[in-house]
Structure 1
């Protein structure tokens, strides 16, 4: 699995504490009202579907944030293929703490496992090609960290994390700038003035725009947006490995293999994070 610079202790702690604050408010009154303070219990994470498990490592961090005395016995690791009836882990400790952490753990793991499962499925469809599967910024607000992490667990590759770590000159940027050349040249001037080095990707919609990007140069990747397989093959021949090529735009599980067969280096699929179904699971007392 590729390194993920966004998975820092600070980022993970901030996410967990913010999510807990949203759910807890001034306290878990249901647990406080019904469960004795000294009660110690166990619960197991029960998988109720088939797919790729994701979020186990995050669950450990959530339980520790809620109550450092909670003990978690991991039985299945992130990335494991699971089926109905599998037990991913057992958690033991103060009953109130288990219940307080329950919903956040389930929300994260169900969503992350769904993303990882769909990612793995599409990745399998790329077998035998050079293409690598990319995610996008089409993520749930305040949940991007988890969704992109899940893509990695499912075997995909992260694209840029946000607007700050890569320059992507998309169609609107190009149109507002006045064209491919103007957008790229303005970007070069901006980076010189800023004293920064950031990767530059430019989106192209036609073979003529691909040619313009080649003529200007000084970029790191060319995106081929909403092109047919025939156009993609032409673009691959035109670029001739001078720059990595990324196919994007409306690519589905029905079309991804054909797109990969054109010879592109990357295929970005927004559906990895905006349309994946959650994997059903529950935390059961026993």
Structure 2
């Protein structure tokens, strides 16, 4: 398997051969919807070939070496990860075409492990920074004590996860909503990381919460039939939308996956038919 440094070289070589400009950054997410192409769907050469056909002469490449700040070392600090210092643990290649940002990304297991460790530290900092009302700058000094970009992103992600508007946003809209909710002066790279972290966190929370609710769908279907919004809906689309709104407050403000919403709606409609049939048979 090629190292991520080798993958970066592949991008640079391709760009030179096709007279493309390489920008060492991830593009801002306000230029349009994202198209995320997974490595198991299209490998890097395939993605670059697509870029050569569609892009406007610019490739974006983010492959920052792993330089961990260990000022916040704890007892559970993963010492073995230090052997990866200087190596690239994440690579993101992107290009813009027809109003869409196309992205290809790969991450190593060890960079995921580091992020998990660092997120634990950053979440504690986030709690202090967002709740701090002191005037002596202690919270801001703590913010600067670690890897500034990563800490800022983690702090902002923690705030986004707590906002009802972001929690209830549909998956397709979550990046746009998250970027709108960030402070106006947020650095693009920090904002992108924050929204991604917050999105991943909500995905995990939604998977857990809706996994619990799926075991209660029959019970919830009966309650849904009593819901005023659902009763007023005439079309199937309107009933599904009412089912979404019914589920959100029962899942800690998290937007439901489409399959859970659709299954709840289907069970409610089935129960409605059963109830009608039972009512009809009691007349004879």
TM-score, length-scaled by structure 1: 0.24
TM-score, length-scaled by structure 2: 0.24
